[in-house]
């Protein structure tokens, strides 16, 4: 059966790659007037019996489309492949190692559900799961930092606009928003501390993968991760003093902060960069780096399930007290999406940068601050459940954001690509 020139060239539904005519018989799929490496848009194509161009410069049309997507629109092409929008694309056309990454959202939700089932069915496992949170987080962050080349941190520092936007949203705009939203629970010290801990700290782990699912700048988020972590650890004590009063600091000890920073940031980051350096010289190190990067999704699933198992039974017992914070978390995410959108626009960031800033502002660091909250005195025991509740609410919201943010920041922006 014959096919029209349009369907033969490329079939992309609602994708970011523009397909339009630049010659009576030639299709431009790169968006810049070229057909890809070694193919000229001015070359008259051979034609098939049905009138459609069969070849251009002797190359099959299907080959030209693949070359054009690869050479002319690599970044946008990867986004379309992830979305499954290129005609004929099947799971077998994508490397097997990316299978779990392309299904992160349902896998993470499945891990949460599994953790809830296990935790409710066997409450006695909560103590064991709580002990495993710290090691699990360390491994997860090690796998995350494996994808951050040491040189990328220097490049991120030189990307002044993105860095200023990400740090400004998280360190300057978030505190007043959190103060405003926390006023309804200000009379309950345990709930207040939990809300402040979790909302004042930007996420440094799964924000990268969720932003990537929405076409955000994964590399820039990965490169700014250490800076965001250092910034939030420096901001948290004075912010708690300002928003909760001096009595909040009286309950804190510097040891949990220092231990979390060393165990969850310094050691995983150093180990990751050592692994990267060794991977360039030895095969075992290269295999370890590849395995670590590929284990990011399973480690995230294990960490989420472990956190839920450790806390779900207690959450169920305190459900009535925790219901009051759910609207606060939803409203926080909505406000930060609007603020992130505005800051990205004012900073003149590209599409990927704007989407990344939105996710960075709306996603919080519950998995990292949880050990700090667990170290609080017993009278603040409910604070840990407040943090865990934020994780559960946030993951549902992230699923919605993966669909909504690309609509808020479409691929084609006026004056920018």
* Domains within the chain, CATH numbers bracketed: 5-94 (no CATH), 99-408 (1.20.1530.20)
| Burial status of residue 141 (CB atoms within 10 A of its CB: 0-12, 13-18, 19 or more) | buried
Cβ neighbours, 10 Å, residue 151? 10
Whole-angstrom distance between the N-terminal and C-terminal Cα of the chain?
A: 37
Sign of CA dihedral 336, 338, 339, 342: positive
Residue carrying the six token digits 């040189």:
151
Q: How many CB atoms lie within 10 A of CB 99?
A: 12
pLDDT score of 175: 94
Tell me what pLDDT residue 100 has.
77
Which residue, chain included where needed, has tokens 């502002």?
361
- Give the pLDDT of the chain (417 residues) as one tens digit per residue: 444 444 333 343 333 333 333 333 333 333 333 334 444 444 444 444 444 455 544 555 444 445 444 444 444 444 444 333 333 333 333 343 477 777 777 888 899 899 999 999 999 999 899 889 888 888 988 887 887 777 766 776 778 899 999 999 999 999 999 999 999 999 998 999 999 999 999 988 778 878 887 889 887 887 787 788 788 878 888 888 888 877 666 666 666 667 777 887 789 889 988 999 999 999 999 999 888 878 888 988 898 899 889 888 888 888 888 999 999 999 999 999 999 999 999 999 999 999 999 999 999 988 778 877 877 778 888 898 899 899 889 988 998 898 899 999 998 765 444
Residue carrying the six token digits 């076409």: 215
204, 365 in Cβ contact below 8 A? yes
Query: Nearest 5°: phi and psi at 364?
Result: -110, 170
pLDDT of residue 363: 95
pLDDT value for 314: 82
Structure tokens belonging to residue 178 = 């959190």
> What is the rounded CA–CA span in Å between residue 133 and residue 367?
8
Q: Which DSSP category does 253 fall into?
A: -
Identify the pLDDT of residue 390: 94
Q: What is the pLDDT of residue 350?
A: 93
Indicate the pTM of the whole model: 0.66
Beta carbons within 8 Å of 160's beta carbon, 6+ residues apart:
none
pLDDT at 20: 39
pLDDT for the residue 374: 77
Residue 321 burial (10 A CB sphere; 0-12, 13-18, 19+): middle
* Chain position carrying tokens 């001015």: 42
Residue 162: count of CB within 10 angstroms of its CB:
25
Sign of CA dihedral 315, 320, 321, 327: positive
Backbone φ and ψ for 48, nearest 5 degrees, come out as: -85, 175
Q: Report the candidate in 236, 231, 211 with the shortest Cα–Cα distance to residue 221.
A: 211
């Amino acid at each position: 059966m014959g096919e029209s020139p349009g369907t033969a060239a490329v079939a992309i539904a609602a994708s970011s790659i523009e397909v339009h005519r630049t010659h009576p018989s030639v299709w431009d799929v790169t968006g810049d007037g070229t057909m890809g490496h070694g193919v000229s848009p001015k070359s008259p194509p051979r034609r098939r019996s049905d009138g459609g161009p069969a070849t251009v410069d002797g190359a099959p049309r299907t080959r030209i489309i693949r070359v054009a997507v690869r050479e002319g629109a690599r970044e946008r092409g990867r986004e379309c492949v992830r979305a499954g929008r290129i005609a004929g694309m099947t799971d077998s056309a994508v490397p097997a190692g990316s299978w779990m990454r392309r299904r992160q959202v349902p896998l993470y939700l499945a891990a949460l559900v599994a953790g809830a089932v296990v935790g409710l069915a066997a409450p006695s496992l909560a103590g064991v799961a709580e002990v495993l949170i710290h090691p699990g987080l360390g491994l997860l962050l090690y796998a995350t930092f494996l994808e951050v080349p040491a040189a990328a941190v220097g490049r991120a520092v030189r990307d002044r606009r993105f860095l200023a936007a990400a740090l400004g949203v998280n360190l300057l705009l978030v505190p007043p928003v959190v103060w405003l939203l926390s006023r309804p629970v200000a009379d309950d010290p345990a709930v207040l501390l939990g809300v402040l801990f979790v909302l004042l700290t930007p996420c440094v782990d799964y924000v990268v993968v969720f932003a990537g699912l929405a076409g955000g700048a994964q590399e820039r988020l990965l490169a700014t991760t250490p800076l965001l972590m250092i910034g939030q650890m420096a901001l948290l004590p004075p912010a708690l003093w300002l928003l909760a009063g001096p009595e909040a600091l009286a309950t804190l000890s510097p040891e949990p902060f220092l231990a979390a920073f060393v165990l969850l940031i310094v050691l995983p980051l150093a180990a990751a960069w050592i692994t990267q350096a060794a991977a360039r010289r030895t095969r075992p190190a290269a295999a370890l780096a590849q395995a670590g990067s590929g284990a990011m999704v399973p480690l995230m699933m294990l960490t989420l399930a472990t956190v839920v198992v450790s806390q779900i039974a207690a959450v169920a017992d305190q459900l009535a007290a925790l219901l009051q914070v759910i609207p606060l978390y939803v409203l926080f995410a909505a406000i930060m999406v609007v603020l992130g959108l505005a800051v990205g626009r004012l900073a003149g960031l590209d599409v990927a940068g704007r989407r990344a800033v939105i996710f960075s502002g709306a996603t919080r660091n519950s998995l990292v601050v949880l050990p700090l909250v667990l170290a609080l005195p017993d009278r603040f025991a409910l604070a840990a459940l407040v943090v865990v509740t934020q994780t559960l609410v946030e993951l549902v919201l992230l699923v919605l954001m993966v669909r909504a943010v690309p609509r808020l920041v479409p691929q084609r922006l006026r004056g920018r690509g």
